[in-house]
Amino acid sequence: MSTSNARRKGKKGKGAMAIGDHVKNSTLNADTLILPPAATKDEVFDSILRSALTSGVMFDATVYTYSRRSRSDVGTIVDRPLPTFSNSTALKHVSSDYFVALLSGDYSEATHTSTDEYDYESDSDLDDAEDLALLEDHDEEPILGAVIPAESVSEEEQDSDRKAGATRKSEQSVTKNSIAATTASQTSAGANTTGLTVFLEGVAFNTFQAFMFYVVKGKINFAPLKSQPVSMRKQKIKQQKPHDAPLCSPKSMYRLAHLYGLKDLQELALKDIEGKLTAENILQELFSTLTSRYSELQEMGTNYLLNNALVPGVLDAMPDWINKAAEGSLGPLAGDVLGMLFKKLANKSSQSSNVSCSYCKYTSYTRTCQSCGRNF
């Protein structure tokens, strides 16, 4: 009897209190979870999982980003903001002061409402309203892994959007205010929300979704360039598996990595872009808006052109591209690309003319054709 009473007493008394206190005190959350700077991606993920096991929350921040680009008579605009459920610990750990400031809830971009400074014209990860049909096969089931906005876009809606372009910018502010109001309403009602909600205007939805996967798992999955055949992009989407990282544009990810100062990710994107350059797309890529903004991309593109792509088709097309750049129709910074190209051409010409003899090192010798014997 005394043993039984002791067991019952333990269940009702200090034993139960000790278990409750232990769970409460061992819970890790975004505020208390501090990872060393050298933590690996696996260690970051394990820490987040450990926290989620007791807190029930793996994603403690909601980041809204634009997903679509529309063109109308009044210009180009971005819309269709979609949420990426994110983990603040992982974002802060990417060694970027940007996210530390952003996720503190005291950063201007969280409340900024203008898209005038968003370089959406050169963002390859924004879906063009008029091009969505190219990536959708309406005769088949939805393609696994395809990143399509949550709301379907009909042809009639696209036409309506183009006609209503003049009023869409005000609707963007309304949408963001609605997001904030909904979050506040859910919080006050005691709903299970994901903590801080922020609105990023300088990044596309596809890019940020892929970035969030990268900061947690260390995996990145780059899509073909838009200058490559559409069939390659469709094939890549069809090959996506449930465990694959979300597809994103290497150019958009390069821009994000440069913006946030993430050198490793920047190098991954740069290497992928370089691997997709061909004689067929080199001029389009070299004179793109994004390339004109970054000297590293200009360096890579001009080197590829001069070392690998001086073939008849490219040489025939070059005058048109140079004229467009000189006229300013390719943007105000296209002249920088021309400047680097001409500089490298001049250096290459100088190097080829200053050939030295491998025996006496004299530089003014003439070269002789091995076939006809003539000097040249």
67-104: pLDDT as tens digits = 988 877 777 788 889 999 999 888 888 866 788 888 87
CB atoms within 10 A of CB 201: 20
Which one, of 73, 79, 199, lies nearest residue 129 by Cα?
Answer: 79
The pTM score is 0.70
**Residues 187-239 pLDDT 10s:** 444 444 457 888 888 899 999 999 999 999 999 999 999 999 999 989 999 99
pLDDT averaged over every residue in the chain: 74
Q: Which residues are CB-neighbours of 36 under 8 A, at least 6 positions away?
A: none
Tokens of 310: 């001086």
Alpha carbon distance 253, 249 (integer Å):
6
Vertex 245, ends 242 and 248: CA angle to 5°? 125
Q: How far is CA 361 from CA 23, 144, 354, 357, 368, in A?
A: 79, 63, 11, 4, 17
**Residues 269-315 pLDDT 10s:** 999 999 999 999 999 999 998 999 999 999 999 999 999 999 999 99
Share of the chain above pLDDT 70, in %: 61
Report pLDDT for 105: 59
Q: How far is CA 188 from CA 110, 179, 185, in A?
A: 20, 14, 5
The single residue listed with the structure tokens 């096969």 is 137
According to DSSP, the β-strands at 75-86 and 61-72 are antiparallel
**Buried b / exposed e across 26-46, counting CB within 10 Å, b at 16+?**
eebebeebeeeeeeeeeebbe
